[in-house]
Amino acid sequence: MTTEVIMPSSGMGIEEATVVKWLKNVGDQVNEGEVIAEVETAKATVEVEAPASGTLASIVADEGATVEVNAVIGMIEE
Amino acid sequence: MENLKQKTEPATGASVQMTYLDALMQAQFEEMERDERVFLMGEDISVYGGDKLVERFGKNRVWNMPISEGSFTGLGIGAAINGSRPIVDLSIASFVYLASDQIINQAAKLRYMTGGQIDIPIVFRCCMFSVGSKAAQHADRPYPFFMNVPGLKIISPTSPADIKGLMKSAVRDGNPVLVFEDTRLWPLKGDVPTDPDFLVPIGKADIKREGTDVTLIAIAGAIRPTMEAVNALSAEGISVEVIDPRTLKPLDHQTFKKSVAKTGRLLIVENAHQVCNVGSEISAVMAEEAFDLLKKPILRVCAPDIHVPFSPALEKDFFPSKNDIIAAVRRLL
């Protein structure tokens, strides 16, 4: 099964965020709840946790990319 | 209370890169450092970015207010009459309606009603949360209402340096000033002068980009799709002059006219509803004073005369987009 990694919402008025760093590479094992990326909003730097355990199958939003909250930034294959 | 003299030249010294939101916080921080009469009051202000202010200045100068805009706005106006210089954060621009009697009937009129005996040095912060499914009751851009009121100044900066410089000018102005900040601009980064006396004068437009074919005046958050559209058009050899008024009242009609004299074509882009918005006012003044300079009718691209939808699918097409702006520029050529 594939699970989408979503750009988290971090408060009223924050409609977009920029991927600062992926802490995992495509193909790496990840555990549910593990921090896999750091993203920056106008207000703070926020950690993105893996929504499921499995393999990081793809990175949709590369480092430096700015995307809207709730957009898919990566995929985990269970 | 005296009107403090404003520096009109841009600062030449050092600058640092920061976001629009950080520049806004820095402006408030510096003004509170400079003048102990300045204090901050509003909803949630010790939560969203205000925690640094509480840490530095304590709760005597950073007041969390109950959800009662009319009463705390009146309190702020009373404090201003008595010698303080409050910054009243109304948190969401749609909430300003609740405080509008205090702002219009008291803050805007008391100097006039008392024959100049009362000064009201007060700043009202009104954040426009227009997208992200805030829905009709939280997504308004109500600056056109307040433009219709004599005695108020209104600013709508779009860059980090401008929000810092104009916010500081607003605090030092000595009159009621409304600050309409578009939350879509919060994450934008730019160079911001570090000089604590860096000010951007109220009432002066900024030419964001020089051009020769069309004059495009973009208001507040509309600057983002505007710059995307203008970059795309520039790749085709279409040269658009982009003007950011920065101040909505008073409007800098001189700068608009000078540009229209060069291009002969005028487009105004904004996120307010189309009836009686800033574009209406600019169009009227240009028709009165610069009609003979125009080669084509003036065009406006703005939100339709219906409420902001909750539905993401409908909201996506509600505000002027890059493609809407490109199409309007093409109609003028």
* Cβ neighbours of B21 in A, within 8 Å: 42-43
Residues of chain B under the 50 pLDDT cut: 1-9
The verdict on B13 and B71 lying in the same domain is yes
Q: Which residues pair with B74 in a beta bridge?
A: none
Q: Please, which residues 19-78 of chain A have a Cβ atom closer than 8 Å to chain B?
A: 41-43, 66, 69
Predicted pLDDT of residue B12: 63
Strands B62-64 and B38-42: parallel
Give the model confidence (pLDDT) of B240-282 as tens digits.
999 999 999 999 999 999 999 999 999 999 999 999 999 999 9
Using the Cβ of A15 and the Cβ atoms of chain B, whether some distance falls under 8 Å is answered with: yes
The verdict on B294 and B187 lying in the same domain is no
Predicted pLDDT of residue B111: 97
The verdict on B78 and B126 lying in the same domain is yes
User: Is B234 within the bounds of a domain?
Assistant: yes
Out of B31, B43, B69, B315, the active site residue is B69
The verdict on B6 and B86 lying in the same domain is yes
User: Looking at chain B, which residue has its C-alpha nearest residue A66?
Assistant: B187
Dihedral over alpha carbons B178, B184, B187, B188 (to 10 degrees): -80
How far is B66 from B44, CA to CA, in rounded Å?
Answer: 9
CA B50, B92, B17, A70 dihedral sign is: positive
The verdict on B174 and B57 lying in the same domain is yes
Using the Cβ of B146 and the Cβ atoms of chain A, whether some distance falls under 8 Å is answered with: no
User: Is B201 within the bounds of a domain?
Assistant: no
* Cβ neighbours of A19 in B, within 8 Å: none
**Shortest alpha-carbon distance between residue B144 and chain A (Å):** 22
Give the model confidence (pLDDT) of B111-145 as tens digits.
999 999 999 999 999 999 999 889 999 999 999 99
**Host domain of residue B252:** 206-332
Give the angle subtended at the CA of B16 by the CAs of B12 and B18, to the nearest 5°: 130
User: Is B321 within the bounds of a domain?
Assistant: yes
Average pLDDT of the residues in A12-21 = 91
Among A24, A14, A17, which Cα is nearest to A76's? A24
- Residue B280 sits in a domain whose CATH number is 3.40.50.920
* Cβ neighbours of A17 in B, within 8 Å: 187
Number of structural domains (chain B) is 2
Contact A15 B132 (CB under 8 A): yes
Reply yes or no on whether B307 is catalytic.
no
Using the Cβ of B187 and the Cβ atoms of chain A, whether some distance falls under 8 Å is answered with: yes
* Cβ neighbours of B48 in A, within 8 Å: 11-12, 43
Predicted pLDDT of residue B304: 97
Q: What is the value of pTM for the model shown?
A: 0.92
Q: What SS3 string covers chain A?
A: CEEEEECCCCCCCCCEEEEEEECCCCCCEECCCCEEEEEECCCCEEEEECCCCEEEEEECCCCCCEEECCCEEEEEEC
Omega of the bond prior to B250 within 30 degrees of 0, cis? Answer: yes
Q: Please, which residues 41-80 of chain B have a Cβ atom closer than 8 Å to chain A?
A: 48-49
- Residue B156 sits in a domain whose CATH number is 3.40.50.970
The verdict on B307 and B251 lying in the same domain is yes
Reply yes or no on whether B138 is catalytic.
yes
Using the Cβ of A10 and the Cβ atoms of chain B, whether some distance falls under 8 Å is answered with: no
The verdict on B264 and B328 lying in the same domain is yes
Which residue type is seen at B319? F
**Shortest alpha-carbon distance between residue A2 and chain B (Å):** 25
The verdict on B263 and B233 lying in the same domain is yes
Residue A45 token pair = 């730097």
**Shortest alpha-carbon distance between residue A39 and chain B (Å):** 12
User: Is B235 within the bounds of a domain?
Assistant: yes
The verdict on B160 and B251 lying in the same domain is no
Look at residues B144, B168, B193 and tell me which one is the last residue of a structural domain: B193
CB B256 within 8 Å of CB B217: yes
Look at residues B172, B193, B214 and tell me which one is the last residue of a structural domain: B193
Query: Which domains occur in chain A, in start order?
Result: 2-77 (2.40.50.100)
The verdict on B289 and B257 lying in the same domain is yes
Predicted pLDDT of residue B124: 98
CB B299 within 8 Å of CB B332: yes
ipTM of the complex as predicted: 0.82
**Shortest alpha-carbon distance between residue B49 and chain A (Å):** 7
